[in-house]
Structure 1
Amino acid sequence: GFRKLTSIWEPSPCTIPGLGSGVLEMRVKEGTKIRNLLHFAISRFQGEGHVSPVSQVIFSGLGRAITKTITCTEIVKRNVQGLHQVSKLQYRNILEIWENQAGERVNECKTVPSICILLSKEPLDPQELGYQSPIETSSKSEEK
């Protein structure tokens, strides 16, 4: 049998234009607890705990963490009103190095989907591919 020694990800900067200098990056992984991410991101947007509030947060996830990444952003958008969103999908390469019991190594290159989602209190370019305007809240939904 083989065991995985390491995984080397190709660096891939988020391709979202209009990022401010104080952007908070949330890297979502398959085993990440959603409630921990949500508490941290929402508290930073709202400036809780003696920290200055941020106006932009990027959630990024790879492979099987994409679904969890999208779930996190949708929950944050419902808790923090007026957030603009830009989503970008891309592929990233990963090199996995495996070793068998005899010490022989095997390299495997994979291409994995990834997503970056920017949530911003500041207006973003509505012409940007992947843009979504803030969620409209109606008085009827607030009364229920």
Structure 2
Amino acid sequence: MEHYEKKGVRRNVAKAEDNEIRISGHARVRVLVSRALGKLQSDGHRSVVLKGEGHSCTKTISVAEIVKRRLPSLHQNTRILYSDVEEVWSPKDATMELDELEVVRKLPSIHIALSMDPLDSSADGYQAPKQKKKKSPSKAKKSKPTTPKKDTFSTRSTVAPT
């Protein structure tokens, strides 16, 4: 591939829906979290879909977990899929008589749907909201009385001055 250079990338990308957030590697997590919370709380949406591809899959999961921690009543449905990315490579030197190459790669993607309404619980990737644990009255821990330890290394000299 040292004799080729990448000319372009072709993807089939549909237009984003109103409740969809596409996560890129350059976006900041706190900005994405506030955008998702804003859609769920103030924009009147009952659900939001977080989508990430390639290296941004881990960031997508992080955003979903933070949003679920702030709104614990959310249902989650996760889908992992692969999308085709077509790369076009052309020769660097026209005198070498090389053909233009088209390479199709499989790019991992993740789609996480967070909803205030119950989702299909039989679907693979479904997670129910966490149940709130009832707090039991905390018992004060009884601590053991500490005994002073003997100082094994003394700084005083035991030799009497002469």
Query: TM-score scaled by structure 2?
Result: 0.69
Cα offset for 1:55?
Answer: 0.6
Distance 1:114 1:12, change over 3 A: farther
The secondary structure found in structure 2 opposite 1:125 is coil
Cα offset for 1:105?
Answer: 4.2
Distance in 2 of aligned mates of 1:23 and 1:139: 37
Unaligned runs of at least 5 residues, structure 1: 14-21
Distance 1:140 1:3, change over 3 A: farther
Which of 29, 38, 53 is the aligned partner of 2:44?
53
* Residues 1:38 and 2:65 aligned together: no
Distance in 1 of aligned mates of 2:76 and 2:83: 22
RMSD: 2.6
Map 1:1-144 → 2, pairs under 5 A? 2-11=4-13, 24-47=19-42, 52-102=43-93, 105-140=100-135
Query: TM-score scaled by structure 1?
Result: 0.77
Cα offset for 1:129?
Answer: 1.4
Instruction: Choose between structure 1 and 2 for higher RCO, CA contacts under 8 A separated by at least 6 residues.
Output: 1
Larger radius of gyration: 2
The secondary structure found in structure 2 opposite 1:43 is helix
Report which stretch shifted further, 74-83 or 99-108.
Answer: 99-108
CA displacement 1:89-124 (0-9 Å, x = unmatched)? 111110012345446743221111111110000111
Distance in 2 of aligned mates of 1:68 and 1:37: 10
Unaligned runs of at least 5 residues, structure 2: 139-162
What one-letter code is carried by the residue in structure 2 that aligns with 1:61? G
Distance in 2 of aligned mates of 1:74 and 1:83: 10
